[in-house]
Amino acid sequence: MSEHDHNDSISLESLAKIKNFIQKLTGVESFVASHEGLPIEEYGYDDPQKAEVEAALSEDLLKASSDIITSALGEKPPNKVSLLLKNDRSIDIIKINEIIITLKGQVKPLNEATTLITKYLKNKKIICPYCNTDLTLETYICPNCSATVPFATQHCPHCSTDLAIKTCPSCNNPITYDGRKVIYKEEISNRSLLIMDTMLVAIIGAMIGWLAQPTIISAVIGAMIGGGATYFILRNIFKAKKKIVIRD
Ligand SMILES: [Zn+2]
Ligand SMILES: [Zn+2]
């Protein structure tokens, strides 16, 4: 086996980052990155030989499925093979720039991890629109079930909690799971009722003002006090926070 220039395309540093990401995730059991069947980086194997066996198997599996799919179906070779195991577990095998990555674990968390690793290695990273922090391999603790999940997850893969909007761990700004800005805009929930009520109380205020002193000035002051007070009180009652997601 010759020394290949596989480090040109995927750096050892990025594989170490992936390992670090995988280690933290709840529900992901093992990871091995290999080149020509030889492990480069691994996690979750008590015996390094097991990692080597799985890496070699992945290589064979990917090659066999590629052969079948290209020759029998005339399709392009797949760069991902997923095998469902018993008890809601699976093995994901992905191939990016001659590096084969094999992951094993629970179906949903594994699928999220595989997707993000692929994005990371294909340079389709999830970046904070405020501080430019790379969030692709960032993790997050689900507030509902306490599982460690990827930051860039929309729903918790363990308990399905909506995690679409979180604050950036680096700059604390609210952003979406896929790196878009979230702007909170104040909006009055019932504008027509607010205007109608304000006008009604302004008329009553004008009448009271007129009764106190039958001059235009007195009526106007009465209308302003009644209408103004009503407007400010009801405005706070009807105030609703509405979030608007803006694509950066
Ligand atoms: Zn959860
Ligand atoms: Zn940020």
The Å distance, Cα 203 to ligand 1 centre, comes to 54
Roughly what angle, to the nearest 10 degrees, separates helices 12-24 and 107-121? 160
Q: What's the confidence (pLDDT) of residue 240?
A: 67
| C-alpha–C-alpha distance, residues 48 and 45, integer Å | 6
| pLDDT per residue rounded down to tens, the chain (248 residues) | 444 444 447 889 999 999 999 999 999 999 999 998 899 999 999 999 999 999 999 999 999 999 999 998 899 988 899 999 999 999 999 999 999 999 999 999 999 999 999 999 999 999 999 999 999 999 999 999 999 999 999 999 999 999 999 999 999 999 999 999 998 777 777 788 888 889 999 999 999 999 999 999 999 999 999 999 998 888 888 776 666 666 65
The Å distance, Cα 248 to ligand 1 centre, comes to 28
- Dmax over CA atoms of the chain, in Å, equals 104
Q: What's the confidence (pLDDT) of residue 235?
A: 82
Q: What's the confidence (pLDDT) of residue 183?
A: 84
The Å distance, Cα 160 to ligand 1 centre, comes to 6
Q: What's the confidence (pLDDT) of residue 237?
A: 81
Q: What's the confidence (pLDDT) of residue 7?
A: 42
The Å distance, Cα 170 to ligand 2 centre, comes to 5
Q: What's the confidence (pLDDT) of residue 5?
A: 44
The Å distance, Cα 52 to ligand 2 centre, comes to 39
Give the CA-trace dihedral at 168, 33, 31, 145, to 10 degrees.
Answer: 10
| C-alpha–C-alpha distance, residues 180 and 178, integer Å | 6
Nearest of 108, 170, 166 to residue 141 by alpha carbon: 166
Nearest of 201, 208, 204, 210 to residue 228 by alpha carbon: 201
Q: Which ligand sits closest to the CA of 150?
A: 1
Tokens of 248: 């950066």
User: What ranges do the domains of the chain cover?
Assistant: 1-124, 127-179, 185-246
The Å distance, Cα 244 to ligand 2 centre, comes to 18
| C-alpha–C-alpha distance, residues 215 and 111, integer Å | 76
The Å distance, Cα 103 to ligand 1 centre, comes to 21
| Mode of pairing for the β-strands spanning 165-167 and 174-176 | antiparallel
pTM, two decimals, is: 0.76
| C-alpha–C-alpha distance, residues 63 and 194, integer Å | 68
The Å distance, Cα 62 to ligand 2 centre, comes to 38
The Å distance, Cα 151 to ligand 2 centre, comes to 12
The Å distance, Cα 81 to ligand 1 centre, comes to 27
Domain 1-124 in CATH 1.20.1050.10? The answer is no
Q: Which ligand sits closest to the CA of 161?
A: 1
